[in-house]
Amino acid sequence: MQTTPSTALLGVDFTSAPSRRKPITVAHGRRHGGVVHLAALQAVESFAAFEAMLAAPGPWLGAFDFPFGLPREFVESMQLGADSGAVIGALRRRCASRIELRRLVDAWNAPRCAAGQRLPHRHTDRAVPGITSTSPLQTRFVPVAFMYFEGLHRLVAADVHLPGLRDGDLQRTAVEAYPRLLAVELIGRRSYKNDASAARRRARDDMVCALQHGSRRLGLRLQLSAAQRARLLDDASGDLLDAVLCLVQAAWAAGRPRCGLPAAVDALEGWIVTT
């Protein structure tokens, strides 16, 4: 995808069960040189609305906070296919619901668990020293597998281009994001989510300040209005801020060949942008 200042950028904080109470959160913006302009914050309250967003004509590039692939060990042992599109298609045929996916993963993992092993990770989940993202097979606590199950098949159905994984409409491109990578760079391991306490509000404030001053590693700074800044600080869930972190990762990808992904991306596991 040849990105230009006219390319719309999306940062998407995903949920596997969107609703009015817990929507998919989207940050819209554009990049001009080293500046990321936050244009709007959007609550997407249903999968129908999410699918409509994916179908919107490009050019756009979005960074989505859910896995685009699964650990190779699991995929090969279950004989699910040779690329990400085939894998999600096979899983959707085998599992009619998220709960059936949980049962499938639990049954596969039981012998490993008995041997003292944990759910496997992808290579990209551990590509940054000191930071490990949740296994894409996790169906409890933070149910990342449910996010994969509900998110990826909709990208594939919408024919969105997934660099290194699946060819699609080059005017609509998606990369996998992980907002915690940027959050740790900006404020360390401080908690900023799921709490209205003064301490976590200060953490959100410090993160927004750091975004406005700019990420040294990504070479980008955020520009936003006073009203937008207030919304980010007031959102105790942290979902709006996570969407903005994804937006900055999308802006970084927009400025690089292959969206900044390695020359060889595992077609089963995928790759988190900016790692």
**Tens digit of each residue's pLDDT (9 = 90 or more) over 175-224:** 999 999 999 999 999 999 999 999 999 999 999 999 999 999 999 999 99
Query: Is residue 174 over pLDDT 90?
Result: yes
Per DSSP, 35 falls in state E
Ordered by start, the domain boundaries in the chain are: 8-68+171-257, 72-142
pTM of the entire predicted model = 0.97
Please tell me the predicted confidence (pLDDT) of residue 179: 98
Residue 209 to residue 165: CA distance in whole angstroms:
35
Is the pLDDT at 3 greater than 90? The verdict is: no
Label residues 67-76 b or e (16+ Cβ within 10 Å = b): bbbbbebbbe
- CA pair distance 167, 156, nearest whole angstrom: 10
* pLDDT for 1: 62
Nearest to 208 by CA among 181, 249, 244, 179: 244
Q: How confident is the model at residue 6 (pLDDT cuts 50, 70, 90)?
A: confident
- pLDDT for residue 189: 96
H or E element, residue 146 = helix 144-157
Q: How far apart are CA 239 and CA 250, in angstroms?
A: 16
> What confidence score (pLDDT) does residue 188 get?
97
Stretch 71-83: mean pLDDT, rounded? Answer: 97
Tell me the CA end-to-end span of the chain in Å, nearest whole number: 20
Buried b (16+ CB within 10 A) or exposed e, 117-150: eebbbbebbebbeebebbbbbbbeeebbbbbbbb
pLDDT at 2: 61
Question: What integer pLDDT is reported at residue 57 of this predicted model?
Answer: 96
The H-or-E segment that residue 13 falls in is strand 8-13
What is the third-level CATH fold of 8-68+171-257? Answer: Nucleotidyltransferase; domain 5 (3.30.420)
Q: Tens digits of per-residue pLDDT, 103-161?
A: 999 999 999 999 999 999 999 999 999 999 999 999 999 999 999 999 999 999 999 99
Averaged pLDDT score across all residues of the chain: 96
Which residue bears the tokens 């894409």?
A: 136
**pLDDT of 231 over the 70 cut:** yes
